[in-house]
Structure 1
């Protein structure tokens, strides 16, 4: 049996450890800490956070040491995998601090990769020069339902070109990037984009425009909703072969094929039968680590690489460039 890889988490907030810290054995798996602790291919050896309350909560829950200093944690634990679960504006600095001590095999960075293309490119360069495999935690492309959608598109079962609309809220960098990255995963490279409505800024800093994006396999209008009213993430894609609905952030994925119109000869309509494509969003973070285990076994993996995340960031930053020169 392959020995479990030693993992250190830098940033013990919500995605690092908080979302599911009180979950029972059958609860959801939404954080890096719970995923690593439960997955047989990985061993959680420690955490880093500047807040004593975060460190204490983590230590009590997982029984491993939490440090205030990245350098001390890296020297003490010698992790093979480092998770950077800190705010995006700190990602490059924290990767530099990690690499200044020693070189892990893998770094998993939270999304977005950075808040400017220049910082993102520098982060990717640092990891490549150090020989570190870099992945970015765009969770949806590791989830089984999204993987099945990609398979159907590539097989032509969901025929291209596709055309659709998607909704996000809570900022283009923070949440809109999730869906742009997912659509790149399904529809291929972005060829062009145009801002339809500049919208506002979430929390005064993260732009929320409506944008039309053209991909290799179709085009999608991505629109901003109002997070303060309710969270709303998802959308639909139309194909010559039917309709795909991606609802509730991906917890419901539906496919409608075609049938003959019973009333009008020669016409087709969407079938009354709706197929629910199996998904497992209640364990979305687990599936990231399952895909990472495939990578470690030299098997195909659906993780988002640093280069792929940089392509997403390049588009998001270009859109945001209409508002200011630097985010």
Structure 2
């Protein structure tokens, strides 16, 4: 079994700890948080020793891999710390707040011979996997139109650091980056992005349109401060048909294919709903399998770096009101 530990005992850290605890190939050996109460509660819940010092935890229990589930501005220092101790890293998204920091984290781990995985979990959701397969099946040569939305309450109501873009990256870097990583995997390289952003004390909303080399347009929305429960949705349409789905749809996928005009109906709808194996479990299980085999993961550290670059480009466009080129960009 692989000895695992978790740094950060909030919501995401609790998920990582719980999944490791129920995973046959993993042995959860410790959790850590600078908030002693949070560390104690999670440690007692999962039945392992808890620490308030990451250095002490790494030196005393000697995990083989550590999950980093702390506020974004703390990611890179803790990645470096784990690498210095020869410990492989699974870091929550985004990897860093800037591409320069992300590059540093990747280089630092490579130089010390440890693996770096980044938790872009959307690629592990069943409906999004089905979407990627459906896009390939439709396969319009002219590309298509993709729209995705994520909206929920403002996380700054619970954790104040989310309101400071210097700490969280704001709604684009923290929330929209889920879909940014996904569209990179689904549609390949993009040419440019044009974005709009509105921010107040209670609302952080952003919309970004990415234009891809193969003709596809992807329009993403992210909304903190939505007066309702969290929800996400997506729809892809091209000359061959429409695919739609979302979190409020029971992880179901709806495919409507275009058919010959002589047919009695203009489309055939095929609903698909499956029982999920938890995507966080699948993600961590996949990363540990890659650690054992040496294979590349579904989402690589380089993918995570590019997601940060694209998110930063969207932020720049939102700030300037101008499109930002993505092909060959440097220093974003």
TM-score using structure 1 length:
0.82
Q: Please report the RMSD computed on the Cα atoms of aligned residues, expressed in angstroms.
A: 2.8
Name the SS for the 2:94 alignment partner.
coil
Aligned to 1:99: 83
Are positions 1:269 and 2:266 aligned together?
yes
Contact 1:7 1:80 in 2 (8 A): yes
2:2 to 1, 5, 9: 5
2:11 to 11, 14, 33: 14
Map 1:3-152; keep pairs closer than 5 Å: 4-17=1-14, 31-100=15-84, 102-104=85-87, 106-152=88-134
CA deviation after TM superposition for structure 1 residue 72, in Å? 0.4
CA deviation after TM superposition for structure 1 residue 192, in Å? 1.5
2:205 and 2:148 mapped to 1: Cα distance? 13
Show structure 1 runs of 5+ residues with no match.
18-30
Aligned to 1:278: 274
2:300 to 294, 305, 311: 305
1:192 and 1:290 mapped to 2: Cα distance? 35
Report Cα offsets for 1:127-172 as digits up to 9, x if no partner: 1111221111111112333333333434x44545121211123611
Aligned to 1:166: 148
Name the SS for the 1:233 alignment partner.
strand
2:79 and 2:108 mapped to 1: Cα distance? 8
CA deviation after TM superposition for structure 1 residue 289, in Å? 1.9
Name the SS for the 1:321 alignment partner.
helix
CA deviation after TM superposition for structure 1 residue 324, in Å? 6.6
In the alignment of these two chains, the number of paired residues is 300
**CA 1:267–1:116: 2 relative to 1, 3 Å:** farther
1:56 and 1:223 mapped to 2: Cα distance? 37
**CA 1:314–1:212: 2 relative to 1, 3 Å:** same
